[in-house]
Amino acid sequence: MKHMQNKQNKPLLVVEQLMHSYREGGDSRPILNGIDLQVAEYECIALLGRSGSGKSTLLNMLAGIDTPQEGRIQVLGQDINALSERDRTLLRRRHIGFVYQFFNLIPTLTVAENVGLPLELNGLKELEISRMVGLILSDVGLGDRWNAFPDQLSGGEQQRIAIARALIHNPTIVLADEPTGNLDAETGDQILGILIGLSRQLKRTLIIVTHSLEVAERADRILTLSDGVLSEGGELHW
């Protein structure tokens, strides 16, 4: 498997004039009101915003799960909304990793199986998968919990598995939605460290969505989403 080389320093992610509103009853409430964004490689970005500000929606769109009403999203030069559903899925499989607030591990798969799933989807052989799973599990410090099931692990351990799963296939972009939201402060801190550290180590782009300034400040760049618009910096307008 090869890393995506961005020799020309082409931006990994380009978002142009993203617009989206939700229909509720009779009104239409604009959630995203002309978002522009450019991400070069190896950046760690924090997307800051209040709950309900639409940051999760934006994240979903970046992943290609949601389709904006207006605007363009380009991943590695490809307009993801011009792709078919299947192609989007394939793109997601290859280039995107997810870390969510609620761990979202598959309860009937072991730790190793959970972590290896992205690789299997990408067509790797079992032997190779085992090797890579071993490597990344030790990276997150859970090399000895291969055959455990998620319900046997603590919250922090589960999130570490999630991180391993998100990074194992060397995705171009890692999207994290409130990764520490369900953890206590200490564990959360730990997790954040692993997430950001590992991403940096593996030279992956990481976009963290959060409502916590503390969390945001650990990133390289902070973008604030407020009133449907993105702005640089960590100024939250409450």
Buried b (16+ CB within 10 A) or exposed e, 172-209: bbbbbbbbbbbbeeebbebbbebbbebbeebebbbbbb
Q: Counting contacts by CB under 8 A, is residue 47 touching other proteins?
A: no
Stretch that binds other proteins, among 38-46, 118-126, 132-140, 187-195 (CB under 8 A): 118-126
Stretch that binds other proteins, among 4-12, 58-66, 140-148, 197-205 (CB under 8 A): 58-66
**In the complex, least distance from residue 228 CB atom to other proteins, rounded to whole angstroms:** 19
Q: What is the dihedral of CA 120, 125, 127, 131, to 10 degrees?
A: -50
Show the binding pattern over residues 146-165: x = contacts other proteins (CB under 8 A), - = does not. -----x-------------x
The structure tokens listed for 150 are: 């998620």
**In the complex, least distance from residue 31 CB atom to other proteins, rounded to whole angstroms:** 13
**In the complex, least distance from residue 60 CB atom to other proteins, rounded to whole angstroms:** 5
Q: Counting contacts by CB under 8 A, is residue 104 touching other proteins?
A: yes
Amino acid found at 142:
L
Give the binding site for other proteins (CB under 8 A).
56, 60, 63, 65-66, 85-86, 89-90, 92-94, 96, 98, 100, 102, 104-109, 113, 116-118, 120-122, 126, 151, 165
